[in-house]
Homo-oligomer: A and B are copies of this chain.
Amino acid sequence: MGQAAYVQIAGLLTSGHVAPGERLSLRDLAERLGTSTMPIRAAVGRLAEYGALEVSPNRAVRVPVMSAARFAELADLRQEMEGLAAERAAKAATADDIAVITRIEAEFASVATGASPDAARAVALNRDLHFAIYAAARMPLLEGAIERLWLLAGPVLNLDMRADPRRLANTPARRFHAAALAALRARDGAAARAAIAGDIAEAAAFILARRVLKEK
């Protein structure tokens, strides 16, 4: 139901093509995607369900602005939930899972430190890496909940990545990713949780330190 539109609009959010606070309109989106407003309405409604978009009657759809407090809670929740997924993944991961994760981790490291750092590609690979780990936990409900959290954080994360592309080259993420992978191999749930939580906490602290988020 409006599946295609949902994917496209979600892509706009996670790729940072729309900024927090930006106003959208069903008719505009429909025209841009070459359909009627119906699939757009369905997709926007689903995205609004968990706060990825804000829609109020007779007013334009808005990409939610992220307050510092909201961002802090989001980072907090992500540490808990993604940490949990990593912990469970350490116990449930198969050899195939770990092989896939290893490959993605190597690719991310290569792109991040390479001569031509491709920010968009690095962001996508970072996402793939995280979700490859979570998929190994075999907890589809948890995975879905985490996906929704990422959609909430999407616009802000990309805003940050674009603002400071230099960070990509020597991102601390690589260290955390390596630690997570090692923990998965060792089936050390606590270490896996700590690595993922550390990754999230570090990135969140970096963004909060820039003080571009509204106080209230």
Q: A145 to chain B: closest CB distance in Å?
A: 5
User: Could you say how many copies of this chain the assembly holds?
Assistant: 2
Task: Bin the interface of chain A by size.
Answer: 20 to 34
Residues of B within 8 A of A18 (CB): none
Q: Which of A105-113, A135-143, A156-164, A176-184 contacts B (4 or more CB under 8 A)?
A: A135-143
Not counting A42-B42, A45-B45, a sample of 7 additional A-B residue pairs whose C-beta atoms are within 8 angstroms of each other reads: A41-B42, A49-B50, A50-B148, A70-B141, A76-B139, A77-B139, A80-B84
Do A45 and B46 form a contact, CB below 8 Å, given A55-B1, A74-B141, A77-B142?
yes
When chains A and B are docked, how far (Å) is the Cα of A1 from the Cα of B145?
Answer: 22
Residues of B within 8 A of A81 (CB): 81
When chains A and B are docked, how far (Å) is the Cα of A74 from the Cα of B80?
Answer: 17
When chains A and B are docked, how far (Å) is the Cα of A145 from the Cα of B76?
Answer: 14
When chains A and B are docked, how far (Å) is the Cα of A50 from the Cα of B146?
Answer: 12
Residues of B within 8 A of A24 (CB): none
When chains A and B are docked, how far (Å) is the Cα of A140 from the Cα of B64?
Answer: 15
Binding site for B on A (CB under 8 A): 1-2, 41-42, 45-46, 48-51, 55, 57, 70, 73-74, 76-77, 80-81, 84, 139-142, 144-145, 148-149, 152
Residues of B within 8 A of A77 (CB): 139, 141-142, 145
Residue of B nearest to A76 (CB): B139
Q: Are B48 and A1 in contact (CB under 8 A)?
A: yes
Residues of B within 8 A of A45 (CB): 1-2, 42, 45-46
Do A49 and B51 form a contact, CB below 8 Å, given A42-B41, A42-B42, A141-B77?
no
Residues of B within 8 A of A76 (CB): 139
